[in-house]
């Protein structure tokens, strides 16, 4: 029998940052489980010109970061199945796969609130749509919580004729000085977060005690090169790549793919020193929270927490409500649910085992609690994030 002809697929995705490499890894992961593709992957920087060979390319489909008008024109002329993995939206009417910025903003807010912050701030990059979307989600969600306050740094576009980093750095420093302390700063991505940390270091602003900083992308090399090491929201780049490959495969086989956004939820937050603090002046509450974080999955209850502080149950509950808006029992459950969520995404352990590891009485009870907190049962949550 003649061998099956391989699909020829071009990937115009840069390899210069961790998120894009994760997308590529997801594409490779998908192709290993299906009929293999003959892949064209030119050396590509972000926003680079399309390779010259693409003009007359006779391939079957493309997965592209369409971030320039030149690449957009090339994609239109080729008239082949294409999946966009950029938020720039320079070609309407094609499927695109991107991060769920609403959930990213929610994770950032939850991360700071769980550490006692009431003043939060956003530092974005006006040159990227995803930064605007994260900012909008951040502001909208904070406005729905009357005990939280937000500030926004109005960054200058690098396309502005008078832009210079030295001038921008002075504006950024002035803004950081103006913020109430302590404050949690959510940066739109790790590079911006690194800039915030550099400004704080040069100005002798204490991180994380005065300013806690959180990025997005979890570029491990960059995060660990920062001083102090940078906490970061973890996008599920591999799943993004797998979903883009699945949609392209469907298109190339004549299937119908909705011309809309396909949003991928983040995996969680990688906590490092830049946010490893409790912004709570109440030392008893801070002690109780640290104990819960360290022992939530060890079978503790509120009685165990009370042994760590000189307070009655009623007094502790009132102080928790004041600082966190929830009770000690709710905080224990929240920490256990977060551990369940991590194990569902990062392991293939059976639900029964996860229930036992997180001190739920049985799998069914864990499922009820998890669904109440996350909006879907554990099995469905895992399947959606491992596609």
Among 250, 245, 257, 239, which residue's Cα sits nearest to residue 94?
257
Tens-binned pLDDT, residue by residue, of the chain (387 aa):
445 678 999 999 988 889 999 999 999 999 988 888 999 988 777 667 788 888 888 899 999 999 888 999 988 888 899 999 999 888 888 999 999 999 999 999 999 998 989 999 999 999 999 999 999 999 999 999 988 999 999 999 999 998 999 999 999 999 999 999 999 999 999 999 999 999 999 999 999 989 999 999 999 999 999 999 999 999 999 999 999 999 999 999 988 887 778 999 999 999 999 998 888 878 899 899 889 988 999 999 999 999 999 999 999 999 998 888 889 999 999 999 989 988 998 889 999 999 999 999 899 999 999 999 988 999 998 888 765
d(C-alpha 7, C-alpha 61), whole Å: 8
Beta carbons within 10 angstroms of residue 281's beta carbon: 10
Q: What does pTM read for this prediction?
A: 0.83
* Phi, psi of 131, deg, nearest 5: -70, -45
Edge-first strand listing for the sheet containing 96-99: 37-40, 7-12, 61-64, 82-84, 96-99, 261-264
CA angle 259, 265, 267 (to 5 degrees): 150
Q: What is the pLDDT of residue 52?
A: 83
The class level of CATH for 283-385 reads mainly alpha
Residue 213 token pair = 């900083």
- Residue in the structure block whose two tokens are 């800039």: 195
d(C-alpha 174, C-alpha 152), whole Å: 13
The class level of CATH for 7-98+237-265 reads alpha beta
d(C-alpha 257, C-alpha 244), whole Å: 11
Q: Which fold has domain 101-235+269-275?
A: Rossmann fold (3.40.50)
Q: Where are the domains of the chain?
A: 7-98+237-265, 101-235+269-275, 283-385
Domains 7-98+237-265 and 101-235+269-275 share a fold: yes
């Amino acid at each position: 029998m003649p061998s099956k002809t391989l699909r020829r697929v071009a990937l115009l995705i840069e390899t210069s940052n961790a998120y894009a490499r994760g997308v590529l890894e997801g594409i490779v992961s998908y192709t290993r489980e299906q009929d293999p593709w003959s892949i064209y992957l030119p050396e590509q920087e972000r926003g680079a010109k399309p390779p010259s060979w693409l003009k007359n390319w006779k391939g079957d489909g493309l997965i592209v970061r369409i971030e320039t008008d030149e690449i957009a024109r090339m994609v239109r002329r080729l008239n082949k199945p294409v999946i966009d993995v950029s938020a720039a939206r320079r070609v309407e009417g094609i499927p695109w796969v991107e991060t769920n910025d609403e959930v990213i903003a929610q994770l950032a807010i939850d991360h700071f609130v769980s550490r006692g912050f009431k003043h939060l701030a956003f530092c974005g990059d006006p040159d990227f749509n995803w930064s605007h979307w994260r900012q909008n989600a951040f502001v909208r969600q904070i406005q729905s919580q009357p005990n939280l306050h937000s500030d926004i740094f109005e960054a200058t576009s690098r396309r502005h004729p008078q832009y210079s980093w030295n001038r921008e750095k002075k504006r950024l420093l002035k803004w950081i000085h103006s913020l109430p302390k302590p404050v949690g700063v959510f940066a739109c991505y790790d590079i911006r977060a690194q800039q915030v940390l550099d400004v704080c270091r040069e100005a002798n602003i204490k991180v994380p005690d005065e300013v806690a900083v959180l990025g997005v992308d979890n570029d491990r090399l960059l995060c660990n090169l920062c001083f102090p090491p940078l906490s970061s929201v973890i996008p599920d780049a591999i799943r993004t790549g797998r979903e883009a490959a699945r949609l392209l495969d469907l298109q190339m086989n004549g299937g119908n793919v909705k011309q809309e956004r396909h949003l991928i939820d983040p995996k969680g937050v990688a906590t490092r020193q830049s946010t490893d603090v409790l912004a709570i002046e109440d030392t008893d509450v801070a002690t109780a929270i640290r104990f819960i974080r360290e022992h939530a999955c060890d079978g503790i209850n509120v009685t165990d927490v009370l042994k760590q502080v000189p307070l009655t149950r009623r007094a502790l509950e009132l102080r928790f409500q004041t600082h966190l808006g929830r009770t000690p029992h709710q905080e224990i459950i929240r920490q256990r649910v977060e551990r369940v969520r991590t194990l569902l995404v990062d392991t293939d352990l059976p639900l029964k085992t996860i229930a036992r590891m997180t001190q739920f009485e049985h799998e069914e009870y864990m499922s009820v609690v998890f669904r109440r907190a996350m909006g879907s049962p554990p099995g469905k949550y895992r399947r959606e994030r491992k596609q």
